[in-house]
Amino acid sequence: MQRYLQAATVAALLACLTITTVGAQQTPPSQPPPRPGAPNPATPGERTPTPPETPPRPATPPQPAPQQTGAAPFAPNAYASTYKPFPSRPTVIRNATILTAAGPAIERGSILLQDGKIAAVGQAVSAPPDAAVIDATGKWVTPGIIDTHSHLGVYAAPGIESLQDGNEMTSPNTAEVSAEHSLWPQDPQFDLALAGGVTAMQILPGSANLFGGRGVTVKNVPSRTAEGMKFPGAPYGLKMACGENPKRVYGSRNTAPQTRMGNVAGYRRAWQAAAEYRDSLRRWKASGSDPEKRPARNLQLETLAGVLDGEILVHNHCYRADEMATMINIAKEFGYKITSFHHAVEAYKIRDLLADNNICASMWADWWGFKLEAYDGIRENIALVDQAKGCAIVHSDDPNGEQRLNQEAAKALRAGWEAGFSIERADAVKWLTLNPAKALGIDKVTGSLEPGKNADVVIWSGDPFSVYSRAEQVFIDGALMYDRSDPEKQPRRDFITGLMPQGGAR
């Protein structure tokens, strides 16, 4: 992104970009002006991991998220979601090839969206007389795409210093911060992701720190506030990071951590403190919860204790196989669960370990080589994890890739086919929908096209695994939020209002 900053800011940003960008790199980010030298433009890079396992833990019915750990003498839901579904009308989509993420493809199928939910899906679906009818002959329908690893709103466009809000690089443990408090809902990149069929995403802090802070899952809807986007009932994530980034950021300042073993010591120290904090709260509750005697509130430990209590899901940026194994050991030592590793470039080397421990892997289709811990990236990674009965997820960590996650999945699918696996599109679509929903703890309500689930639906112009296909219409909770053929139905964030030349931003 901002690759080219004013000289004065360059130095300061550099550290940030490197980190941030590091992961992402690859792409010439948004600005291709690239100086050809700069390889990675903008990616906010790797910033966070994701993960839940399959059975996500918190059931996810849309309700106020469990945000506080321990009894709190303060308003527990001060930051609760204020999202309300947009107006919708009953809509039936007919004659489409439907990938439900819950079974085989349905040819010439229909799906009825009613009251914000999926009312019926199948070969024969009856619709109420007042339903809008969409003839989707030749088109394909999938669940809305869900990205476990996004930095929209916290590394917003334009990618300038003023909007670098994703990495609180002031301490290796900033578990007390939350991405929702950086999230700028006017980031125009949300509109672009919507045009790519993305209906929900986890916004994560960056990967500079061992504990980067809380991630927040949002619906991809226009809103004046971050709370207006928050996915009701979704648990928070905790972004953790392994490897090169934390040790580089802090090691270069001659502060801890400077090595991978320093990283691990940092995690363990923090978890020990969190366990003691949790225990002190438990003792306090067991002894009557006298408000006068409540242990002092500690926001950093509160987040970590939330993980130990199973209310907050760990999303762990980690590339190398051996480091992921180490992180699993730490989780066992302190009794928490890693929901998803993120980037997980070497997941294929330990895919059995991931499956055995019920840990998802949020991966790129083909990013590799931008640093040593990404040097062993192979394109079969996603398919290998999938075929090992693991929870494979295609993530972006990049505002460009986030617009084309279906294409990233297509590349991973091709690699799987060439590796000799027979993977159906109807299964590969789970890498984009159901598996990320599991990792975010929202799979009870979205991620597949099944009656009763939220009507988060995309109509594609053709096979979503084709480079030529485009999301034509995108529904969130049954409301038509994007229509490629109708400019009135294409949200435009404030930033580009009156600024974008006509014809830009698409």
Partner 1 sequence: MKIGLALVLSLGVTASLAGQATRPAPRETPRRAPAVPAAPEVTIAITNARVFPVSGQAIERGTVVIRGTKIAAVGAGIPVPSGARVVEAEGKIVTPGWIESATQIGIVEIQSGAEGTDDQSTTDKELSAAFDVVDGFNGESTVIPVTRVEGITRAVVTPSGSGHVLLGQGAMFDLSGAQVPASVVKAPVAMFANLGEAGAASEGGSRASAMLRLREALQDAIDFERHGVAWANAQRRTYARGRLDLEALGPVVRGELPLAINANRASDLLAAMRLADEFHLKLILMGAIEGWRVADQLAARKVPVVIKPLTNIPSFDALGATLENAARLSKAGATLVLSSFDTHNARNLRQEAGNAIANGLDRDAALRAVTLEPARVWGVAERIGSLEAGKDADVVVWSGDPFELTTRAEHVFIAGREVSSDTRQKQLFEKYKTIK
Whole-angstrom distance, CA of residue 322 vs CA of residue 327: 9
Count the site residues for partner 1 by CB under 8 A: 82
Q: Which residues contact 322 (CB under 8 A, 6 or more apart)?
A: none
Q: Is 465 a binder of partner 1 (CB under 8 A)? A: yes
Q: Which is nearer to partner 1, 341 or 348 (CB)?
A: 348
Q: Looking at 89, 176, 368, 450, which residue binds partner 1 (CB under 8 A)?
A: 368
- Residue closest to 144 by CA, chosen among 93, 102, 103, 100: 100
At closest approach, how far in Å is the CB of 339 from partner 1?
23
| Residues from 205 through 264 that contact partner 1 (CB under 8 A) | 244, 248
Interface mask toward partner 1 for 53-82; x: CB under 8 A:
------------------------------
Whole-angstrom distance, CA of residue 111 vs CA of residue 122: 7
Q: Looking at 47, 371, 395, 430, which residue binds partner 1 (CB under 8 A)?
A: 371
Q: Are 458 and 141 in contact (CB under 8 A)?
A: yes
Q: Is 501 a binder of partner 1 (CB under 8 A)? A: yes
Q: Is 414 a binder of partner 1 (CB under 8 A)? A: yes
| Residues from 388 through 407 that contact partner 1 (CB under 8 A) | 399-400, 403-404, 407
Token pair for residue 334? 């302190």
Listed in order, strand segments (DSSP E) in 145-227 are 145-150, 198-203, 211-219
Q: Are 391 and 435 in contact (CB under 8 A)?
A: yes
Whole-angstrom distance, CA of residue 91 vs CA of residue 484: 17
Q: Is 35 a binder of partner 1 (CB under 8 A)? A: yes
Q: Is 22 a binder of partner 1 (CB under 8 A)? A: yes
Candidate segments 222-230, 310-318, 374-382, 442-450, binder of partner 1 by CB under 8 A = 374-382
Three-state DSSP at 75 gives: coil
Whole-angstrom distance, CA of residue 101 vs CA of residue 428: 8
Q: Is 358 a binder of partner 1 (CB under 8 A)? A: no
| Residues from 176 through 195 that contact partner 1 (CB under 8 A) | 188-189, 192
Interface mask toward partner 1 for 468-487; x: CB under 8 A:
xxx-----------------
- Residue closest to 66 by CA, chosen among 274, 280, 307, 301: 307
Three-state DSSP at 94 gives: strand
Q: Are 223 and 184 in contact (CB under 8 A)?
A: no
At closest approach, how far in Å is the CB of 380 from partner 1?
5
Whole-angstrom distance, CA of residue 406 vs CA of residue 421: 19
Q: Which is nearer to partner 1, 13 or 134 (CB)?
A: 13
| Residues from 325 through 354 that contact partner 1 (CB under 8 A) | 348-349, 351-352
At closest approach, how far in Å is the CB of 500 from partner 1?
6
